[in-house]
Structure 1
Amino acid sequence: MSKTDRAQHYLAIDQGGQATRAILFDNNGTALAEFSAPITTSHPAPDQVEHDPEEMARSVQEALSGLAEILGDQPPPVQSAGFATQRSSVAFWDRSSGAALAPIASWQDRRDASHLETLPREASQEIPRITGLRISPHYGANKLRWFLKNHEAVKAAAEAGTLCCGPLASFLLARSLHESPAFADPANASRTLLWDVHTKNWSDYLLHLFQIPQDVLPESVPSRHAYGTISLGQQVIPVTVCTGDQSAAVFAAGKLDEEAVYVNIGTGAFIQKPTRARHDDAAPLLQSVVWDDGSEGIRVLEGTINGAAGALVEWIGQEEPNWARYLNGWLEETQDPPLFLNGVSGLAAPYWIPDFPSCYVGHNASEAPLSARATAVAESVIFLLEENRRVLEEKGEPVKRIIITGGLAKSDALCQRLASLTKCEVIRPSYSEATARGLCYLLRSCEEDATEESWQAASGASLHFLPRQAVELHRRYQAWREELLRRLT
């Protein structure tokens, strides 16, 4: 069989917060078949958020088995496979046997966050310089340190010299690939807060700061690498790409548009702006690695909003569990909603206040109709997106277009509000799964016959939302901003 025949299909393994999915794509990014295996999340104590590592490893195999069954006895040949996983989640396993030693600590896990306050003052300057990120309990380093000091099985394996720990992606590669490798890609390694974006390797300074021996970590390798092989039915497929979920999502539309900002808006929202500039001081944003193949590195300025759909679930969902069905109609019919200060899961970029209290603002605002309160929560997400866009402008990174994906992006009314507030064109692609499709793009980009034209042609028609005059929306935004800043001072 010729390479051209084999190059028509790619396998994307997308490990997310709710499930692990195996998706077969053709060469132009059209999903042909998929299977999803759910995972569970536990909250054993305040600030602790965990996944069962055996269930997580099993979910990859279940997704692959389910996809193989769908494809039947004569599946199409697959050129290569890739992984995209939750960033900042960390795992612990035995390097020899692959056996899990402790729960997976989710990116949402904030255990022992107070320890970060004891770091030397110089760390607040050195960590952003080395990593492009900021000190945060959401990143892996502090969780790795805690388990090394407090979990008996992890401590015993470290003493025996058999411990491997690090990004969730590394654990899934070790458990899923025939070769049981111990590799860490740049996007996931960087989210441990231990990886130097300049040397593209683990940082001696940060390892010492967090008291983590380098020999327990996976080997740092490029985003595109010979990771090993994985089985899909009877096929044995080379795994050539590994990256983070949000790092893959920006490539779903193809080659990055440097005049656009990419917004993926689900439980939280991620705002990513491709940049060629080296921002020595990215604050109050992050500077993240989304791709590094060993020669070419691509970075984005990144902002995060912790409470997007998650805020609606928390503040509206108990009263109306099917809020997502009604949100667009509520946004269209509500003329004068109250304001909502959104600190759900912590107020993130560009303010970074972990314990900011959420609340409605306005006379009897908490007693407003459900539709008005839901609109207020949804508008708070739009307002926070605008705050991040303003910071990008201040840093010399103007935004002409917003490419938006994710569950909340399905609301036309929300997209229109975003366009009118930011005065930017908002583009909503027809595809729904940005992470998996972006991973497919990265897999096929090494093929000689891969063209941008064929990828764009298969992307389908996008919906475009152009700015409209929205005096009342801008008035509410200014009032919201003034109230937010007043409470922050």
Structure 2
Amino acid sequence: MARLMLGIDQSTQGTKVLLFKSNGQLYRRFSKNHQQLINDQGWVSHDLTEIWQNVLSLVAQAQQLVRANGDEIVGVGITNQRETATAWSKSDGHPLAKAVVWQCARATALCDQLAQSGVGTTVQKRSGMPLSPYFTAAKFDWLLKNEPAVQRARLQGDLCLGTIDSWLIYQLTRGKDFKTEPSNACRTQLLNLETQDWDPELCRIFDVPMASLPAVVDSNALFGSTDFNGQLDQPVPIHGVLGDSQAALFGQHCVNFGDVKATYGTGSSIMMNIGEHPVRSKNGLMTSIAWRLNGATNYVLEGNVNYSGAVVKWLQEDLHLITDAAETGQLAAQANPQDHTYLIPAFSGLGAPYWNDKAQAVVWGMTRTTRKPEFVKAALNSIAFQINDVVRQMQRDVGCQKTTLKVDGGVTKNQYLMQFQADVTAAQLLLPNFEELSAFGAVYVAGLALKLYTETTYQQDVSYQSYQPQMPVDQRQSLLKGWQQAVTIVNRNFA
């Protein structure tokens, strides 16, 4: 009988349920997408009931395989999209509103009002992050001001507010456990970076009732037990939870000061491990918590890009320039190298290090000879340029000039993009042969807590494909100069 760990990766686009062996190897993956609910104002929402039903459906498939082979699921790890705001009834667990997805900027006006009141410095000092509608606190504020069911639940003392991890834990434990952990909690902009608990002043600023927030426990704590509504023969412990980007950092084994990784998802998260003490960025980045394991905290510098993998999806689903993401690399390779078209994909503003939520997308430098290959190349290049902007600011903040960048996420299959990233960042890129880094990171944490894994489990069967920078220095500098000119125009015109 094989002992298996079950990982839930609840991402922006869908749900994945993964089974990992006791040696850390991925055994089987099951996945299902959920709807992206986007209205005519550009608000992005998710249906929490759909997400929960997808989890149960996929676990049923996984358990069918486990039973057929006579194996056993012994523990659960969870990783999730961060910053997404959810609200549900404490008494019966039903959603009170659609989830406000991290990409959604509907709380911009609320943040503008708060900024005018002069609280921006307080928010950044206490949370480690600049005041922005990107984070969950402003989204909670919006739900509390605009959703009648949320307002009623608050008055009746029947309100739960949380990120996706808390929602899943509450459902998995049938309402017995209402918990989160620091890697998710710090991204709400309500957690005090120093005390690592909910900050009364931040909750007051965003008008969020502290009684409606989950308990903050260690990332490898026991979050409760679940049988997935009777799908399993007996309950198993949920013993590891991490936000998706921190989970990828742990899965990439970026445990030393200065280690950097970039996760290419719908958006991108670039993280640098800065050790046991927080470093306050002077260059537009955020200080966040990587994880807290057995009471010991690790911090990171982080920069977030709103649109990376989503740019490729835009090319495919909205512009119909491609029928498959794999085409982009081929088209980019066909493009005229003398074309200097730049795409600034500020469809929901610009994230780090610019923090301009009013910015709008712009195509700059396009000429009559710009064709589909050149446009697709500009879209791919925009991903690499944005990530390079963040890496450079990290290096300035800590004085660390490491020239290795670990990467993960679906878009890393694009060889053109990976080589271009190595070129513009002047860094060696290391791409592991392991695709499910976020799920593995959370399961690895849980498996360590359950003594199923050891510290050497990670080192088994992990190898890297390396991309070395090849672009001449003058060409790189010219490309970066053009990018900065385009970004400056966007920031100047959408201030």
Normalising by structure 2, we get a TM-score of 0.91
Matched, 1:375 2:374: no
CA offset digits 1:230-277 (Å, max 9, x no partner): 125314210111221112111223352434310111322111111125
Instruction: Tell me how far 1:121 sits from its aligned partner.
Output: 4.7
SS at match of 1:196: coil
Which residue number in structure 1 is paired with residue 334 of structure 2?
A: 333
CA offset digits 1:64-93 (Å, max 9, x no partner): 111111223444233321211111112121
Which residue number in structure 2 is paired with residue 117 of structure 1?
A: 112
Instruction: Tell me how far 1:296 sits from its aligned partner.
Output: 0.9
What letter matches 1:97 in structure 2? D
- Superposed structure 1 runs of 4+ greater than 4 Å apart: none
Match of 1:18 among 13, 19, 31: 13
Which residue number in structure 1 is paired with residue 244 of structure 2?
A: 245
**Unaligned segments of structure 2, at least 5 residues:** none
Any conservation in 1 of the 2:86–2:162 contact (CA below 8 Å)? yes
Instruction: Tell me how far 1:425 sits from its aligned partner.
Output: 0.9
Aligned counterparts of 1:363 and 1:227: Cα–Cα separation in 2: 52
- Where does 1:71-470 land on structure 2 (aligned, <5 Å)? 71-119=66-114, 121-178=117-174, 180-231=176-227, 233-254=232-253, 256-276=255-275, 277-281=277-281, 283-293=283-293, 295-315=295-315, 317=317, 318-334=319-335, 335-342=337-344, 343-362=346-365, 364=367, 368-395=370-397, 396-446=399-449, 450-459=453-462, 461-470=463-472
Any conservation in 2 of the 1:230–1:238 contact (CA below 8 Å)? yes
Instruction: Tell me how far 1:229 sits from its aligned partner.
Output: 0.8
Instruction: Tell me how far 1:444 sits from its aligned partner.
Output: 2.2
SS at match of 2:54: helix
- Provide closer, same or farther for how the CA distance between residues 207 and 236 of structure 1 changes in structure 2, counting only shifts above 3 A: same
Aligned Cα root-mean-square deviation (Å):
2.2
Aligned counterparts of 1:481 and 1:323: Cα–Cα separation in 2: 30
Any conservation in 1 of the 2:77–2:439 contact (CA below 8 Å)? no
Any conservation in 2 of the 1:129–1:281 contact (CA below 8 Å)? no
SS at match of 1:78: strand
SS at match of 1:239: strand
Any conservation in 1 of the 2:283–2:393 contact (CA below 8 Å)? no
Aligned counterparts of 2:144 and 2:483: Cα–Cα separation in 1: 44
CA offset digits 1:415-439 (Å, max 9, x no partner): 1222222221111111112211111
SS at match of 1:188: helix
Matched, 1:69 2:70: no
Any conservation in 1 of the 2:254–2:261 contact (CA below 8 Å)? no
What letter matches 2:329 in structure 1? N
Which residue number in structure 1 is paired with residue 32 of structure 2?
A: 37
**Unaligned segments of structure 1, at least 5 residues:** none
- Provide closer, same or farther for how the CA distance between residues 380 and 255 of structure 1 changes in structure 2, counting only shifts above 3 A: closer
- Provide closer, same or farther for how the CA distance between residues 466 and 47 of structure 1 changes in structure 2, counting only shifts above 3 A: same
Instruction: Tell me how far 1:178 sits from its aligned partner.
Output: 4.4
Deviates more, 1:124-133 or 1:450-459: 450-459
Any conservation in 1 of the 2:170–2:177 contact (CA below 8 Å)? yes
Aligned counterparts of 1:61 and 1:180: Cα–Cα separation in 2: 18
Aligned counterparts of 1:271 and 1:123: Cα–Cα separation in 2: 27
Any conservation in 2 of the 1:344–1:358 contact (CA below 8 Å)? yes
Give percent identity, aligned residues only: 24
SS at match of 2:189: coil
Instruction: Tell me how far 1:339 sits from its aligned partner.
Output: 2.5
Any conservation in 2 of the 1:107–1:140 contact (CA below 8 Å)? yes
What letter matches 2:60 in structure 1? S
Aligned counterparts of 1:363 and 1:185: Cα–Cα separation in 2: 46
Which residue number in structure 2 is paired with residue 51 of structure 1?
A: 46
Any conservation in 2 of the 1:253–1:456 contact (CA below 8 Å)? no
SS at match of 2:222: strand
Any conservation in 2 of the 1:84–1:435 contact (CA below 8 Å)? yes
Any conservation in 2 of the 1:259–1:401 contact (CA below 8 Å)? no
Normalising by structure 1, we get a TM-score of 0.92
Any conservation in 1 of the 2:254–2:260 contact (CA below 8 Å)? no
Instruction: Tell me how far 1:350 sits from its aligned partner.
Output: 1.1
Any conservation in 2 of the 1:389–1:399 contact (CA below 8 Å)? no
Any conservation in 2 of the 1:132–1:282 contact (CA below 8 Å)? no
